[in-house]
Amino acid sequence: MDTIETIKEQIAGNDILLYMKGSPNQPQCGFSAQTVQALMACGERFAYVDILSNPDIRASLPKYANWPTFPQLWVKGELIGGCDIIMEMAESGELQTLVKEAAATQSAS
C-alpha cells in the first residue's frame, strides 16, 4: 500500500486524528504540544500519528492535504487546520463542540 493510501485509511478510520511531531504524552514541538493540550481539554479520545517516526507520511501528507505544516487535525475526514486555527477554535468554544460531536457519532456507530 502506498503512503497516500495509508493516509486515506488513517483519516477514514479515525473520527478525530492528529498528525503531530511526537506523541500526546511527549510532543516534540511547541505547536504540537499546544494543539494536544487544546484537544485533551475537550475530554475526548483522539488518535494520533507521529510524523517523526513516519517520514513517508511526513513527506506526503502536506501534498495530500494541501497544508504545509504540522500539526494537522482531521475530524470526520476533514482537515480542520493547524495549531493557530485549533487555538482560535479552542478559545471560541468551537473546538469543544466539534470534538464532542465527532466523539458522539463515533461512539454511536
**Residue whose C-alpha cell reads 486555527 in the numeric block:** 85
**84 labeled part of a ligand binding site:** yes
Closest to 53 in 3D by CA, of 80, 26, 83: 26
Rounded-to-10 torsion of CA 67, 31, 34, 28: 120
Q: Alpha-carbon dihedral of residues 64, 93, 33, 82, nearest 10 degrees?
A: 20
Residue 83 annotated as binding site: yes
Cite the annotated binding site for glutathione by residue number.
21, 58, 70, 83-84
Cite the annotated binding site by residue number.
21, 29, 58, 70, 83-84
Cite the annotated binding site for [2Fe-2S] cluster by residue number.
29
